[in-house]
Amino acid sequence: MWQGEHTAFAERSGMMETNSIYGDHLPEMKKVMNDIMSRVGDARKAMSERLGMDPVEHCLCRIKSEESMREKCRRRGLPETTESALTKIYDSIGIRIVCAFIDDVYAMVDYLKKFDDVCVAEEKDYIKRAKKNGYRSYHMILKTASGYYVEIQLRTISMDTWAALEHHLKYKKDIKENQDLIADELKRCADELASTDLSMQIIRNMIMGDLT
Ligand code: GTP
Ligand code: MG
C-alpha cells in the first residue's frame, strides 16, 4: 500500500506491535523514508525553479507490510527475522518516483546518486533494457549510513500506468485462457507507450530547447 508524502504509515497499519518482523526499527525506518522523500521534494523545487516545470508527477512511499515481508522471506527461503527483513531483503522501505518525461527520470537518478551519506547498492535500468514482458522502470537500491536499504523505483507516467495494470491483471485473476495472447498484447502496449514517451521527450526538447 503506497502513500503520498508525510503520512503516518506505521501507526495506521498497526505495525508498532512488539512482535513486528522489523523489531523496534520502524520509527527509524520511517525517518529514513521521510528523509529521502523530503530530499526528493527539495530536488523538485530546485528543478521547478530552473526549468519552470516540476520534474516529478508524483512520489509515493511505503514500508513493506508485515505480511508481505514475511511472505517474501518464506519465498526466498529465509527465516522470518528482523535480520532477514533489514539485511537480506532490500525493499522494506520503498519509494516510487513518477515523472512525466524520461529525461526527468534520469535527472532524478543522477540527483539521488549524489547524496554523500547514501551509497548505491544496486542499480537496474529496465528502461534501457526492458524486461521480457515489457516492464520498464529504473530501480536503485540505496544503503543509508545508518545501514537501512531503500528501494527506489523511477519511471514515467506511461510506465507507471502499464505496471499498475499489468500487476492488477497478473495478481487479481488466475488467468487460464489466452495467456500467450494477453502476454503479447501487454508487451505490444508497453512498446507503444515507450515509443510515445520518446516522442513526448523529443517534442519537449524542441519546445524547451533554449532552457535545457
Ligand atoms: P523482488 O524484489 O523480489 O521483486 O525481486 P528482484 O529484486 O529481482 O526484483 P526487481 O528489482 O526486478 O523488481 C522489484 C520490484 O519492481 C517488484 O517488487 C515490483 O514492484 C516491480 N516489478 C518488477 N518487475 C515487474 C513486472 O514485471 N511487473 C510489474 N508490474 N512490476 C514489476
Ligand atoms: Mg528487489
- Asked if residue 152 has its Cβ within 6 Å of ligand 1, the reply is no
71 and 89 in contact (C-beta within 8 Å)?
Answer: no
What is the distance between the alpha carbons of residues 33 and 115, in angstroms, rounded to a whole number? 14
Whether residue 151 contacts residue 118, with contact meaning beta carbons closer than 8 Å, is answered with no
Domains in the chain: boundaries: 3-157, 162-208
Helix (H, G, I), strand (E, B) or coil at 56: strand
CATH topology of domain 3-157: Beta Polymerase; domain 2 (3.30.460)
The SS3 assignment for 83 reads helix
Contact (Cβ atoms closer than 8 angstroms) between residue 63 and residue 9: yes
- Report the atom number in ligand 1 closest to the C-alpha of 124: 11
Distance (angstroms) between ligand 2 centre and the Cα of 62 equals 14
- Residue 6, pLDDT > 70, answer no
Rounded to 5°, the CA angle 158-159-161 comes to 65
Mean pLDDT of the residues in the chain: 90
For the stretch 114-143, pLDDT in tens is: 999 999 999 999 999 999 999 999 999 999
Q: CA-CA distance, 152 to 60, in Å (whole number)? A: 10
Which residue owns the Cα nearest ligand 1 atom 7? 90
Greater confidence, 179 or 33? 33
**Is residue 8 pLDDT above 60, yes or no?**
no
Quote the cell numbers at residue 9.
504509515
- Concerning whether 151 is annotated as a catalytic residue, the answer is yes
The whole-angstrom distance between residue 101's C-alpha and the CA centroid of its chain comes to 16
Distances (CA, A) of 140 to 47, 62, 149: 21, 15, 10
Helices (H) and strands (E) in the chain, counts: 7, 5
Residue with CA nearest ligand 1 atom 3: 72
**Catalytic one among 66, 71, 80, 151?**
151
Q: How far apart are CA 80 and CA 83, in angstroms?
A: 8
113 pocket-lining for ligand 1 (C-beta < 6 Å): no
- Is residue 5 predicted with pLDDT exceeding 60? no
Q: Is the pTM of this model over 0.85?
A: yes
pLDDT, tens digit, 9 for 90 and up, residues 22-80: 999 999 999 999 999 999 999 999 989 988 889 999 999 999 999 999 999 999 999 99
Q: What is the pLDDT of residue 168?
A: 86
Distance 163 CA to ligand 1 centre (A): 10
